[in-house]
Amino acid sequence: MDFNFTEEQVMLRDGVARYLDRNYDFDARQGLLRSGAAWSKETWSQFAELGVLALPFPEEVGGLGGSAATLVPVAETCGEHLTVEPLAFALALAGGALVAAGDNAGARARLADLASGASVGAFAYDEGRGLAAPAQIAMAATASGDGFTLNGEKRLVFGAAQADFLVVAARAAGKAGDAAGLVLLLVDPKADGVTFTPFRTQDGRSAAHVRFDNVKVAGADVLVRDAHDVIVRLVADAILLLAAEAVGAMSALMRITGAYATTRKQFGVAIGTFQAVAHRLADMKIALARAHATLTYSTALAEAGRLTARDVSVLKAQVGKLGRAIAEAAVQTHGGVGMTDELSVGHYMKRVLAFESMFGAADYHFRMIGQAA
């Protein structure tokens, strides 16, 4: 057994870390958000230059032949820097859907642009208060000609208003809860009937709710029919990368909080010398070790093509639960200053809380694990 990243992965991660250390510290990030930009175009082109954007895609479409799992160390580093670029959403979800479309010409062209950094895609998936599993997709795609007509709303679509193309997961047949009847469709964000309600997320990303009113999708833009299993796989890849970002954020919280407990003095001594505080630090470290172990092991399972639905549930639930515990402990240890917008601590907290709320919260995944034999 070997759970180490390859030399190439380590080099890429270190390259990304060097760039982010120089250009993406917390102050720079906050400046970027204040400027109103959705994310840093410069950082995205740097990712393109370093090969990050091409890494998870097959070689025959201009990729570097890796997978979402190959990107895990990069995603961890991004999480440590609280980046707002849509790595998991554009690459694992939108990009992954294009790969699943096989030799669809439109998909191939957009994939090449995605991998080179020339364009960005968004994945329209969530509905209502969020989907715990793809089978719950309800938004209707009504057959019309050889294509479909879309009506309804998708919620929390990351990078939607900035995207050059949308991939929409919709229901062509059956009812919410059915695995059968799902499709993945390629939609031009400028098409008639597509409207956006853009917003900034709690953790600094850019997203939008997207309405579809009689939006026509041509037959050539049907990426995947009977798409349930494909969507499950794409969501698993996204969970893996977002979990890696969350674990990166948790590592940063551990480091920052440990440093604070060592330097902050009350009653004449460093607060870390009080046992109540020390034990909270210890619990953070135990939680981080567990989350890190599960992320690393899950990554190895994904690389071996053996990441089951149950494994995904373990990863999603554990990182969500342990992330919340670490974040809350970090804010508590920082006291009043932990409550301020000025400090990074609260922003890391919002990152892990956003992760916990998406793709099924911990309670859902725990129950799935408890249910299965």
Partner 1 sequence: MNIEFGPELESFRREVAEFLDVAPTPAIREAGKKTTSVFAPFEQVMAWHRILHAKGWAAPAWPKEYGGTGWSVEQRYIFAEECRKRELPPLLPNGLQMVGPMLIELGSEEQKRKHLPGILSGEDYWTQGYSEPNAGSDLASLQCSAVADGDDYIINGSKIWTTLAHHSNRMFMLVRTSKTGKKQEGITFLLLDRTDYPGMEIRPIIGLDGFPEQCEVFFDNVRVPQSGRVGAENDGWSVAKHLLKHERGGSAASPAMLHAIARIRETARQTPSPFGGVLADDAVFQRDLGELEADVMSCRHFEQLAISGHPLARDAAYPSVNKTMNSELSQRISIMMTRVSGIETVPQQLEALVVGSNVAPLGDDFDLIAMPYYLNTRATSIYAGSNEVQRDLIARTVLAANR
Where do contacts with partner 1 occur on this chain (CB under 8 A)?
1-5, 254-255, 258-259, 261-263, 270, 272, 275, 278-279, 281-286, 289-294, 296-301, 303-304, 306, 313-314, 317-318, 321, 362-363, 365-371, 373
Residue 69 vs 353, nearer CB to partner 1: 69
Residue 180 vs 293, nearer CB to partner 1: 293
DSSP result, 220-264: GGEEEES-HHHHHHHHHHHHHHHHHHHHHHHHHHHHHHHHHHHH-
Residue 3 vs 267, nearer CB to partner 1: 3
State how far the Cα of 250 lies from the Cα of 291, in Å rounded to an integer: 9
Least distance between partner 1 and beta carbon 210 (Å): 32
For residue 327, give the 3-state DSSP assignment.
helix
Least distance between partner 1 and beta carbon 20 (Å): 21
Q: Which two tokens stand for residue 7?
A: 């030399």
Residue 206 vs 298, nearer CB to partner 1: 298
Least distance between partner 1 and beta carbon 368 (Å): 7
With beta carbons less than 8 A apart as the criterion, state whether 253 and 137 touch: no
State how far the Cα of 103 lies from the Cα of 57, in Å rounded to an integer: 14
With beta carbons less than 8 A apart as the criterion, state whether 67 and 305 touch: no
- Give the amino acid at 373: A
Residue 10 vs 180, nearer CB to partner 1: 10
State how far the Cα of 69 lies from the Cα of 100, in Å rounded to an integer: 17
State how far the Cα of 196 lies from the Cα of 162, in Å rounded to an integer: 10
Least distance between partner 1 and beta carbon 130 (Å): 18
Residue 20 vs 314, nearer CB to partner 1: 314
Least distance between partner 1 and beta carbon 298 (Å): 8
Say if strands 147-158 and 165-171 run parallel, antiparallel, or are unpaired: unpaired
Residue 200 vs 285, nearer CB to partner 1: 285
Least distance between partner 1 and beta carbon 351 (Å): 21
Residue 9 vs 162, nearer CB to partner 1: 9
Residue 228 vs 321, nearer CB to partner 1: 321
For 294-302, which contacts have Cβ atoms below 8 Å and span 24 or more sequence positions? 294/318, 294/319, 295/72, 295/76, 295/243, 295/244, 295/247, 295/319, 296/3, 297/3, 298/240, 298/243, 299/69, 299/72, 299/240, 299/244, 300/3, 302/67, 302/68, 302/69, 302/236, 302/237, 302/240
Least distance between partner 1 and beta carbon 267 (Å): 17
Spatial CA neighbour of 322 closest among 258, 261, 272, 249: 249
State how far the Cα of 220 lies from the Cα of 215, in Å rounded to an integer: 15
Least distance between partner 1 and beta carbon 70 (Å): 10
With beta carbons less than 8 A apart as the criterion, state whether 210 and 202 touch: no
Least distance between partner 1 and beta carbon 266 (Å): 15
Residue 182 vs 362, nearer CB to partner 1: 362
State how far the Cα of 362 lies from the Cα of 213, in Å rounded to an integer: 34
State how far the Cα of 196 lies from the Cα of 189, in Å rounded to an integer: 9
Least distance between partner 1 and beta carbon 369 (Å): 4
